[in-house]
């Protein structure tokens, strides 16, 4: 998808308004992406119009996550090609396979042309995984104490 310059200006205004008007939601995490990442959306379209050089984001997705396709293919992220399949063995073995290790050891995110055009990067800091696990444990406890709660919420909406 590409935008023309007028549409790009509209997008930039909308993103700036969002960042200004929704500071509380951005800070609380209700809006998941931080201002830097929101601004990257406009940067992506500016680069498409050759108004700026494409700049790769800060990302450690291939080291902290993986994407599993419906057919079992395992990718380091949404954009780089698969390096294995869960049908080849356990996920942990696919993630530690020669192909996966080779990919990660050769990936230079700042200079990689796929990364430079990335629209969905991920950067987990140390502690993010611990916080995510703690949130997951809390959700599981809530579910175990009242397994019908989510269903009730859905039926009300
Ligand atoms: S394509 Fe995007 S998500 Fe994948 S490694 Fe590069 S920057 Fe990260």
Mapping DSSP onto H, E and C, the string for 3-57 reads CCHHHHHHHHHHHHHHHHHCHHHHHHCCCCCCHHHHHHHHHHHHHHCCCCCCCCC
Write the residue with the smallest CA distance to atom 7 of ligand 1.
Answer: 115
Q: Does the pLDDT value for residue 143 go beyond 80? A: no
Residue nearest to atom 6 of ligand 1 (CA): 115
pTM, entire model: 0.73
Q: Is 141's pLDDT higher than 90?
A: no
Atom of ligand 1 lying closest to residue 119 CA: 2
Share of the chain above pLDDT 90, in %: 61
Taking 70 as the threshold, does the pLDDT of residue 72 lie above it? yes
Mean pLDDT value of segment 56-60: 93
In angstroms, what is the span from residue 59 Cα to ligand 1's centroid?
6
Q: Give, for ligand 1, the residue of 36, 120, 124 to mutate: max count of ligand atoms closer than 8 Å to Cβ.
A: 120
**In angstroms, what is the span from residue 93 Cα to ligand 1's centroid?**
22
* Per-residue pLDDT at 156: 45
Average pLDDT for 5-10: 95
Read off the pLDDT of each residue in 63-69 and give the average, rounded to a whole number: 96
Q: What is the pLDDT of residues 85-107, one digit of tens each?
A: 999 899 999 999 999 999 999 99
d(CA 137, CA 81): 33
């Amino acid at each position: 998808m590409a935008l023309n310059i007028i549409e790009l200006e509209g997008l930039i205004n909308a993103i700036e308004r969002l960042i200004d008007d929704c500071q509380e939601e951005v800070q609380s995490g209700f809006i998941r992406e931080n201002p830097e990442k929101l601004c990257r959306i406009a940067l992506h379209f500016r680069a498409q119009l050759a108004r700026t050089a494409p700049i790769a984001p800060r990302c450690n997705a291939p080291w902290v996550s993986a994407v599993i396709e419906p057919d079992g293919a395992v990718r380091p992220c949404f954009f780089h090609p698969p390096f294995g399949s869960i049908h080849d063995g356990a996920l942990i073995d696919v993630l530690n396979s020669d192909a996966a290790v080779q990919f990660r050891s050769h990936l230079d995110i700042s200079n990689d042309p796929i990364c430079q055009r990335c629209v969905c990067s991920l950067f987990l800091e140390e502690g993010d995984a611990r916080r995510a696990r703690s949130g997951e444990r809390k959700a599981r406890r809530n579910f175990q104490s009242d397994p019908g709660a989510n269903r009730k919420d859905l039926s009300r909406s």
